[in-house]
Amino acid sequence: MRKRTTPTLEITLREYLLDHIEALPTPLAVFVVAMLPVFELRGAIPAGYAMGMNQPLLIYLLAVAGNFVPVLPIILGLGPAERLLRRYPFWDRFFNWLFKRTVARSDVIKKYESLGLILFVAIPLPMTGAWTGSIAAYLFKLPLRMALPCIILGILIAGVVVSLLSQGVISLWN
């Protein structure tokens, strides 16, 4: 467990996650980080190297697999969850915020559909990736048979891009 830098009894979500992820075996930690929103494989691949893994293919495969895990539950479960939770003001505000942010960043999906979704997931920038791409697929009512292959291809491309960037940074560092 990590030593806390603050003497308070409160623990932030970030500290909580770091404490528990550091306790996992490194390959499992890479897989778990890739499943998390915001981090996804963009955080998991560099984390794998930072935690001492030196097998680029294994890091890539773990990150891609972990990043794919939430895709189907998001696409298939977001509709029922939204219908159930929108009755409550907190969740109604949350869904409004989430959908507004997703739509604001997904012009490329509206314009180019399949290719746009692939690019949206593949480009390693904040508020893009498998989580947001899955939410966008739900919002734009893209058929699962179209959305799923696009998101998978986007994840594979993003993994290659982040792996190459990570290797480049490591090469420059050494």
Residue 38 lies inside a defined structural domain of this protein = no
Distance CA 6, CA 14 (A): 13
The pLDDT of residue 22: 81
In this model, does residue 9 exceed pLDDT 60? no
Q: 27 lies in a domain?
A: no
Tell me what pLDDT residue 127 has: 83
- Quick one: average pLDDT of 137-164? 96
Q: Which residues contact 125 (CB under 8 A, 6 or more apart)?
A: none
Token pair listed for 59: 């890091």
Number of domains in the chain: 1
CB atoms within 10 A of CB 16: 10
Residue 115 located in a structural domain = yes
Q: Is residue 132 part of a domain?
A: yes
Q: What pLDDT does 115 receive?
A: 93
Cα within 13 Å of Cα(109), Cβ side: 29
Confirm if 145 and 109 have CB atoms less than 8 A apart: no
Domain that holds residue 98: 71-161
pTM, rounded to two decimals: 0.84
Q: Is residue 1 part of a domain?
A: no
Instruction: Please name which of 21, 140, 145, 123 lies closest in space to residue 72, comparing C-alpha atoms.
Output: 145
Provide mean pLDDT across the span 26-45.
94
Per-residue pLDDT at 95 = 93
Residue 4 lies in a domain: no
Query: Is position 39 within any domain?
Result: no
In a domain, residue 22? The reply is no
Residue 12's pLDDT is 75
